[in-house]
Each structure stands twice: as C-alpha cells, then as structure tokens.
C-alpha cells in the first residue's frame, strides 16, 4: 500500500445515504487529495499541489462534462457501458479518456473536453488479454444494475461538486465505484458500493 493510499484511508469518512432507483448505492465521501491524484512517490508537495491546481483549472474551463463524455463513448457501440473515465488536461488538448465494455472487449476512447469529438479513433482489447482480477471486475460490472454514470450522479450530489474521474476498485472482496469530485477548491473521493457487487 502506498503512503498516499494510507493517508487517504486515514481521513475522516462520512457515510451518506444515496437513493437511486430501487436499490441504493451507498456513498462514503473522503476529503483530501484522492489516491488517484497522488504519485507513488511522495515527491515535492508544492509541485504536486500546483499540478493538481492546473488540472482542476483546465477541467473547469471544459465545455463537456464527464457524463457527456461517457455518453459519447457509449454511443459508439450500442449497449456499451463505461468501466473507467478520467480527465486529462496535462497535454496540449484537454481530453477525457473513457474505457467502455462491449462484446467481450474493452474499447478505449479519447474525447475532446472542449468539443466532444473523438480524438484519434478508438482501440479495442479483448477481455481474454486482461488479468484474472480485471476480468472478474468487469464480469461483476456487467452483472449489477447500476452503472458508472449512476455512480457519477450520486457522487456529485453527495460531494456537492463535479466529477473529474471514476472507475472500479475492489477492496476486501467488494467491488465499488470510486469517483473523484471537485467540490469548491477541494478534491473528494466518493466510494459507492452497488448492491450485489460482493465477491463470491
């Protein structure tokens, strides 16, 4: 476990009920810089803070929301569902990197955060080429009622902000959605466990 992950887990977590559809997702909001935005090394804290601030500023100036980016990627293949999405403002053009699951393949899409256009085509990876844990997580994603788009909506309400990334995580046998939300000047990590997502 990285130092960043230990720090994140030590932060105060506030449980919030989140009513959605018939069975609720349960949200836990963790304040502070989420693990996804920490590097594996501790590095220079001031440089890290400035990099995160620049990323947040680019995100705020984007015309396309994370929900719109997921919808654009899912529309490329009827019946696709998003497994992972993240904002990337570090290069010349700010983009969303979206991975969708469709027909036993993971499709990788890059969506322009200003225009919503697909950048550079798309790439597919057969599920058979993924490791055992990733295949199990994606199989569980297909078996639960809630989708990442549902988790994003709940997380944005729970943390009073806008989602900048989201995906699947498995800890202690539980598959959950981890959503990073910008709330004011803070980053919050929201963990949502969908019903029926426990390991067998």
Digit-coded pLDDT (tens) for 35-72: 444 444 455 788 878 888 888 899 999 999 999 999 99
Q: To the nearest whole percent, how much of the chain has pLDDT over 70?
A: 76
**Cβ count near 97 (within 10 Å):** 17
Q: Are 15 and 28 in contact (CB under 8 A)?
A: yes
7 closest CA partner among 38, 28, 29: 38
User: What pLDDT sits at residue 50?
Assistant: 82
User: What pLDDT sits at residue 28?
Assistant: 62
Output phi, psi for 18, to 5 deg. Answer: -130, 110
What angle, rounded to 10 degrees, do the helices at 66-75 and 148-159 form?
170
71 closest CA partner among 190, 193, 153: 153
> What confidence tens digit (pLDDT) does each residue in 150-170 have?
999 999 999 999 999 999 888
Distance (Å, rounded) from C-alpha 17 to C-alpha 4?
Answer: 27
68 closest CA partner among 191, 153, 145: 153
Instruction: Name the token pair of 101.
Output: 């699951």
**Does residue 29 sit in helix, strand or coil?**
strand
**Does residue 115 sit in helix, strand or coil?**
coil
User: What pLDDT sits at residue 27?
Assistant: 56
Question: How many Cα atoms within 13 Å fall on the side-chain side of residue 86?
Answer: 11
**Does residue 102 sit in helix, strand or coil?**
strand
> What confidence tens digit (pLDDT) does each residue in 85-124 have?
999 998 789 999 999 998 888 999 999 999 999 998 888 8
């Amino acid at each position: 476990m990285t130092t960043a992950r230990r720090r994140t887990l030590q932060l105060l977590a506030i449980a919030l009920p989140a009513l959605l559809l018939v069975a609720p997702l349960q949200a836990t909001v963790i304040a502070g810089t989420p693990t996804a935005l920490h590097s594996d090394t501790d590095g220079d804290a001031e440089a890290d803070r400035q990099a995160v601030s620049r990323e947040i500023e680019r995100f705020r100036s984007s015309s396309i929301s994370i929900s719109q980016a997921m919808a654009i990627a899912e529309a490329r293949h009827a019946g696709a569902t998003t497994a992972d999405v993240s904002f990337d403002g570090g290069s010349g053009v700010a983009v969303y990197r979206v991975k969708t699951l469709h027909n036993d393949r993971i499709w990788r899409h890059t969506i322009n955060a200003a225009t919503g256009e697909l950048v550079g085509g798309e790439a597919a990876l057969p599920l058979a080429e993924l490791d055992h844990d990733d295949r199990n997580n994606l199989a569980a994603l297909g078996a639960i009622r809630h989708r990442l788009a549902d988790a994003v909506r709940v997380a944005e309400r729970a943390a009073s902000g806008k989602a900048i990334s989201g995906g699947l995580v498995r800890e202690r046998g539980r598959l959950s959605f981890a959503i990073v939300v910008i709330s004011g000047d803070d980053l919050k990590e929201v963990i949502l466990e969908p019903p029926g997502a426990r390991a067998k």
